[in-house]
Structures are given as structure tokens and as C-alpha cells.
Chain A
Amino acid sequence: MPDTDLDAPDQPSLTTVHEPTTSTSSPLGGMPLLRPTLPRLAPPLMLLAAFAVAVVLGLTVSSLNPVALLAETAVLYGAAIYTTSAVVEGRRNAVDRLVTVVVTTFFLLALLPLVSVLLEVVRDGYKRFDVTFFTYSMRGVVGEGGGAYAAIMGTLIITALTTVVSVPIGILTAVYLVEYSKGSRLGKVLTFFVDVMTGIPSIVAGLFAVALFVLFLGPGARAGVIGAVALSVLMIPVVVRSTEEMLRLVPNELREASYALGVSRWRTITKVVLRTSVAGIVTGVTLAVARIIGETAPLLVTVGTTTSSNTNPFSGRMATLPVFSYYEYAQPGIPRGPYLDRAWAAALTLIIIVMALNLIARLVSRFFAPKTGR
């Protein structure tokens, strides 16, 4: 969106147009046409000064942590810029500058946890991020050694199973919503409840899968497929929403051109509509996988955990990466060290997978998106 006018920093520049007329002495009875503004260099210099004072404060009075530093800098700079601006430019501009400071601070404040989480996971996770971790399971391991091989396999199998179930259902539903429903009652109800479904707590999805499989396997059963059903409940609405958005972007002219050539409806949808939006759909599916691959709670109640490798999702407990990390933290042996190291290494593995999936999704949407505009 071309929006440069909003980003123009100072309105007073507009008044400079009138400057030539000010050569005659005070045309408005002594009221100056040019509003006084702070010098351009003043705000950055004040920011530097505020930061310096905050550092000194951090070294002497309070502790030197990033949150305190950011907060102190923001408060000092905000106070300084508000008073100087109020004196020089007037109260309205001072409020405007103060809000800019507040809003920017809020944004930076949101970045802190992200940076802190990543730093912490890398710092504690790299200790056991070794070959053993990726090639050994936990069978018979007490104390040091052992690894997350079984957990990684379990996560991959259950995620693959979930994707196989969710993607066709999700895409077909999106196709129904965009191509077939055309304002029908079912379409409206479905749109509403898909949105509502995105808000189902993950633990409730897990309980649903448990309750469903009591029918087939009796109470107390644990299996990978139960977990996959639980995760599907979480994944399907995400796939529907993202696919629907992509299908709506396909220009109607393409559909009409296809129909005009006598192509049937389902071939138009599969060969033209879906083909055009495939990059967007892949992006959406990748993001959906990234969302469910770190889910812990539903797997905790449906799949449980085990120390040895189990690659059959239809029978017995399986280890999965998030649950592995949780149990290494929650039920460690003595000494705790090796267990916590494994928990963090699993967390690091998980976050690398999630970030990689996010990156892949963005790259796919950037490089394979249909060209728009000629």
C-alpha cells in the first residue's frame, strides 16, 4: 500500500510552503506561520542520553537486565521528549511524540521474550545436541546417555499420519466453501464453526480422541493413531482457513475461461483452481504442521510415552518429542542434570523443526506464488 504520506514525520513541513509570504511583517497579527519544531537531531541524541542514564542506573541501583534497561530507557526518553516537545512544539505534538515512544516500546517489549526463549533453548539445549541424542532411544537408560531417537520417530510418524488425515479433509472443505456453497446455509454454518474450532483447547481435543477410542479399544488404551485423531481436530480448521483464503484469491476469469472451453467443474477445480493456488496451500499446510508438531497436551493423554522405539502407530504407547521433553523435565531421576539436559535438547530439536517449517512456508509462498499483474 503506498502510504508515504502517513509516514511523513512532521506536519510543519507543510507550512513551509507559505514561507515567502512571511517576508511581509506578520500577516496574521503577530501569529507566526511557522510552528517551532525540535531540531532533527534532538530526539536521537535524547534517546542516546536516556540509554546511557539507564545503563548507569542498571549498573548502580537496579540490576542490568534487558527488560529493566528497555523500561528505564523508555521512561526516561519519554519524559524528556514530552517535556521538551511540550515547551517547544506545544502539548498536542508532545502527546504525539509520547505515544510514538510508547508504541515502539511495546513492540520491542514483545521481541524480548522471543529472543530470550531462543537464547535459553540454545544455551541449555546444545549440551546434549549430539550424535547419541539422535541415534539412541531411552531403553534401559538411567542417568547420562540415551537419546530421543524413539521420540523423533514417534513425532514424525504421528505428524505424518495427522497430515494424511487432515490435508484432504481440510482442502475439500475449503473447496466446498469457495466453489460449491455459494451462500448456502451449510456454508455459513460451516465457516462459523470452523472458526470456532480453531479455538478448541488442545487438551480437549485429546480428551475427545480418548473418549472416541473407548468405543474401539476400551478404556485406558494408548496408541499413536489416537494422538493423530486428536491432532487432526486441531489441524483441520487451520488447513481449511488458509486454503479457503488462497482459493478466494484465484481470479474468476480463470474459472470462466475453463468453463468456456467445456471443461467440467471438478476438472476446473483440480486443474485450474487448485493448481493456481498450490503454493499458498503448501504454505498453509506447512504452517499447520508447524503448529501441531509441538503439541504436547493431546499426546500426553492419548499416546503416553515409552522408553523404547515403537514405529507402529496402531498399537501401544509411543514416545514423541514434546512429551519426551516434558517427562525428562517432570519426572527426572537423580541427579537431575542429565535429564534436564535431554529435556532442553529435545526442546532445541523441536524449535529448530518449527522454525525451519516456518521458514520453508515463507520461502514457498515467496518463490512459488502465482505472478500477479502484468
Chain B
Amino acid sequence: MSTTSDKPGVVHDAPRYGDRIFAGAATGAGVLILLVLAGVAGFLLWQALPALTASPADVRGGEGLAHYIFPLAFGTILTALIALVIATPLSVGIALFITHYAPRRIAIALGYVVDLLAAVPSIIYGLWGVYVVAPASVPVATWLSTWLGFLPFFGPDPSASGRTTLVVGVVLAIMILPVMTAVNREVFLQTPRLHEEASLALGATRWEMIRQAVLPFGRSGVISGAMLGLGRALGETMAVAIILSVAAGVHWDIIGTANSGTIAADIALQFPESSGLDVNTLVASGLVLFFITLLVNMAARWVIARRSDFSGAN
């Protein structure tokens, strides 16, 4: 397909081997990427197979694979959702600030500054979370426990170290903020100028213009950005592994001492000391994580792709 230029009737002085080789290499690289993605699923499945077929008593925890993975999947989704709840309004606000409020001249520089948040390695977020955020969260957790203790999320005994699901959620929110802000920024900038100007010309204030023109236009972009952020939060490893103090089982209390672990952090914590069937078990949990994030990411990309087909912005 790459040599479509060699149609019958086109006269060549000599066969252009350079062209063929280069086109072949380019196509090959593309195919290789698809093979790698298929390989990720395939090799994980291959290495997870022994754990899938093992008798429940042999799997770590002694009660079967599902019993081992379910609390971790619960913790993964709970922390990611907390992060999403915090980061979504923030990222919309920041993107609006950069696109519609900040002085035009420094707006691009402000965008870079937000992007720098994504450049900080996750191990550093982990150390920062343990030594800065966790201690600072203790009074907040105490307050939540005292006044909102009737909710299942806020148990009666807040953790004294602050290494809780809530703190992990906050740190994850900071980590996914740049991705979400970048997507929101892009769609807000694509709002047709005529819509904005029409709204302003009818006497709308800036906020009314944003509500009438920018937000409706950007809604699907915001949704897909949130899903991309969700995908990142689900897969985040080191920050969670360092901050969270984990206890086995499902825990709804997000400020207590016992917290459900996450799949990614559990792999990072257990893998270096594991061998044999334990490795297969961890790979199986990694496979679950892979499929969860794959679904979330595909949904997000599908929303984006569908949007660019219909928005008329491109």
C-alpha cells in the first residue's frame, strides 16, 4: 500500500529501491507498534495463565485469584475516582483561566508551568506526599471525622500518620491535572470565535459567554479529558506505593489507618520479592489493570475522535 505512487503508466528510469526500502521501514515501524500492543496483552496473558488455572489454595492469600484481586481493584478505582472528583473542576477552571482570563501574552507560559506538574517524577510525588501532604492532612481528617463522621467514607479513627486513601487521591489529582488541563485547554481554544463574539455582542458578561458558547462546545472534550485523567490515575504506581498504608480487604473509610491497596502499587511492592506462582498472580492482576485502563482510554479516545468528526472545528 505504501507504493501507490507506482501506478501503471508512470515511467521510472530505474526502480527506486530507496523508496521501497524507506516505505517498507515506515510501514514496518507502524505494524511493529500494533504488534507490541498486541504483545502486551498476549505475553501478560501467557504469564498470568498459571495463576488463572492454579487451585485457589495456592494463590497468594489462599482463597483464589478473584479474592486476591478484587480488593485491589476496588482500591484502584476508589483512589482514581477521588482524584477525578478533585481534578475535574480544577482542570476546567485552570483551562478557562489560561484560555479566557489570563493576559494573552503570558497565557502560553502559564500553560508550560501547568505542564511542569506532569514532568515531576512520580517517585518524587510519593516522597512529597508522605512528608508534606500526609502530615498536613491529619487536622483535616480529624475535622472530617468529627463533623462528617456519619458518612461511610469518614470513619471514627482518622489515621495519625495521614497515609490514607484520601491523601493518595489528592496527590493523584495533582498528577493527572496537567493531562486534563491540556485537553480542556485545547477544546476551549477551538470554540468558534463567532459564537463567543455573538454572545458578547448580545450583552453577555464574560461568564455568561463562557456558559453559553465555550462550555457547551467543550463538553465532550472535558469528558474525554476526564477519562484520560482517570486512566492515568488508575495506573499510577509509585506515589501510591509510597504513601498508602495498606490493609487487606475492602475499606470504605478513606481517612482511616486501614486502606485498600491498588493493583499497580501492590505489584511494585510485592514483585521484587516474589517468585513462582506469586509472580504469575501479580501478572494476572496487572492484566486486569491493563484491561481496565485500556477500556477507559479507548472510550476517551473514541469520544475525542467522534467529537472531531462532528464539531466542525477541524
**Interfacial residues, chain A to chain B (CB-CB below 8 A):** 1, 3-7, 11, 65, 67, 92-93, 95-96, 99-100, 102-107, 109-111, 113-114, 116-117, 120-121, 124, 168-170, 172-173, 175-177, 179-182, 184, 186-187, 189-190, 192-205, 207-208, 210-212, 214, 219-220, 233, 236-237, 240, 264-267, 269-270, 290-291, 293-297, 300-301, 304, 322, 325-326, 329-330, 343-344, 347, 350-351, 354-355, 358, 362
**Residues of chain B within 8 A of A293, CB atoms compared:** 121
> Does residue B212 face the partner (Cβ distance < 8 Å to A)?
no
A170 CA to B25 CA, complexed, in Å: 11
**Residues of chain B within 8 A of A5, CB atoms compared:** 197, 200
**Residues of chain B within 8 A of A107, CB atoms compared:** 93-94, 97-98, 102, 110
B293 pairs with A208, CB closer than 8 A: no
Contact of A110 among B16, B177, B205 (CB under 8 A): B177
A100 CA to B116 CA, complexed, in Å: 24
> Does residue B151 face the partner (Cβ distance < 8 Å to A)?
no
Number of B interface residues, CB 8 Å?
103
Task: Given A113-B174, A196-B297, verify A1-B104 contact (CB < 8 Å).
Answer: yes
> Does residue B27 face the partner (Cβ distance < 8 Å to A)?
yes
B43, closest chain A residue (CB):
A211
B220–chain A nearest beta-carbon distance, Å: 16
Chain B contact residues, majority secondary structure: helix
B289 pairs with A233, CB closer than 8 A: no
Q: Which of B233-271 contact A (CB under 8 A)?
A: 234-238, 241-242, 264, 267-268, 271
Chain A contact residues, majority secondary structure: helix
B114, closest chain A residue (CB):
A110
Task: Given A92-B208, A100-B206, verify A300-B268 contact (CB < 8 Å).
Answer: yes
B290 pairs with A201, CB closer than 8 A: yes
Task: Given A107-B98, A169-B33, A200-B235, verify A304-B123 contact (CB < 8 Å).
Answer: no
A304 CA to B104 CA, complexed, in Å: 47
Task: Given A1-B104, A107-B93, verify A204-B136 contact (CB < 8 Å).
Answer: no
B293 pairs with A200, CB closer than 8 A: yes
B272 pairs with A3, CB closer than 8 A: no
**Residues of chain B within 8 A of A192, CB atoms compared:** 298, 301, 305
> Does residue B313 face the partner (Cβ distance < 8 Å to A)?
no
A116 pairs with B128, CB closer than 8 A: yes
A120 CA to B127 CA, complexed, in Å: 9
**Residues of chain B within 8 A of A266, CB atoms compared:** 16, 18-19, 21-23
B294 pairs with A196, CB closer than 8 A: yes
Task: Given A113-B174, A204-B290, verify A344-B33 contact (CB < 8 Å).
Answer: no
B228, closest chain A residue (CB):
A199
Task: Given A190-B34, A200-B290, A208-B43, verify A220-B207 contact (CB < 8 Å).
Answer: no
B172–chain A nearest beta-carbon distance, Å: 12
A7 pairs with B103, CB closer than 8 A: yes
B196 pairs with A95, CB closer than 8 A: no
**Residues of chain B within 8 A of A354, CB atoms compared:** 119-121
